[in-house]
Amino acid sequence: MHTDGPARGGPGAASGEPQEEHEDTVATRCAVRRRQLGLTREELAHRAGMSPAYLDQLETFSGDFDPGALMQLAAALEMPYDELVGGPREAAPGRRGAGPHPLLAQLPEDECWRRLGTHGIGRVGLSTGAAPVVLPVNFLVDGHSIVYRTDPEGSAAPGDGDQLAFEVDHIDEHLSRGWSVLITGTAEHITDADTAEDLATRPGAQPWAGGKRDVWVRIRPGQVTGRTIHTG
């Protein structure tokens, strides 16, 4: 079985050349996971029942490795075999790397609102106790404000008048470009029953997380900024 050949590892993969750090290969996935577990190469080799020299070769080069050894290694790394060989099935965006000559530009405020559309999923950042938290929320755009619903006892429920941040972004993996919009402002609880009822009927109002989420929060913007990355 060919576990990680030239198509996955890039130029030099089959020839035994050292892998570049930015390439996503069996070698890099093994090394990253080992460091996450706090293991030395010697400790991982012992766990996997292989020699440190073989593990050193696997973490340094890409090529044909014995499937049985890779299965032992995956078990020692406490990760699925197919994830070690092919990467996570639901990986975070942005794995393809930067495009040629990337350019970072600011978005004007009206373009920020246009990118947000009418509704979607974003992230709200607020302080709760000892440390700030960032949580995903279903949001609606209501005029020039953001609204979302949450559990009154949940981490995403700010106090009336609290300062908070809201962020949405989009990544185009194929074209290596994307954008982000950041809104900072003040939280305001929506107490008017008619307003809450109207918001609840709009597309995107049903939270993906389910449950009873009776508190509607409006984010009154203080500052709206955005950035876009495209290739030159």
Query: Do 121 and 61 have their domain in common?
Result: no
Whole-prediction pTM: 0.68
- Give yes or no for a contact between 37 and 73, defined as CB atoms under 8 angstroms apart: no
- pLDDT for 232: 72
CB-based burial label for 70 (10 Å; 0-12, 13-18, 19+): buried
Q: What is the pLDDT of residues 53-97, one digit of tens each?
A: 888 888 877 666 788 889 999 999 999 998 888 887 776 766 677
Query: Do 216 and 174 have their domain in common?
Result: yes
Q: Which domain holds residue 111?
A: 102-231
Residue 129 lies in a domain: yes
Q: What is the mean pLDDT of the chain?
A: 83
Query: Do 107 and 167 have their domain in common?
Result: yes
Q: What is the CATH number of the domain that holds 77?
A: 1.10.260.40
d(CA 126, CA 106): 24
Query: Do 62 and 115 have their domain in common?
Result: no
Indicate the residue among 86, 112, 137 that finishes a domain: 86
Q: What is the pLDDT of residues 96-130, one digit of tens each?
A: 777 788 888 999 999 999 999 999 999 999 987 77
Indicate the residue among 56, 86, 116 that finishes a domain: 86
Query: Do 62 and 125 have their domain in common?
Result: no
- pLDDT for 182: 97
Task: Look at the chain and report how many structural domains it folds into.
Answer: 2
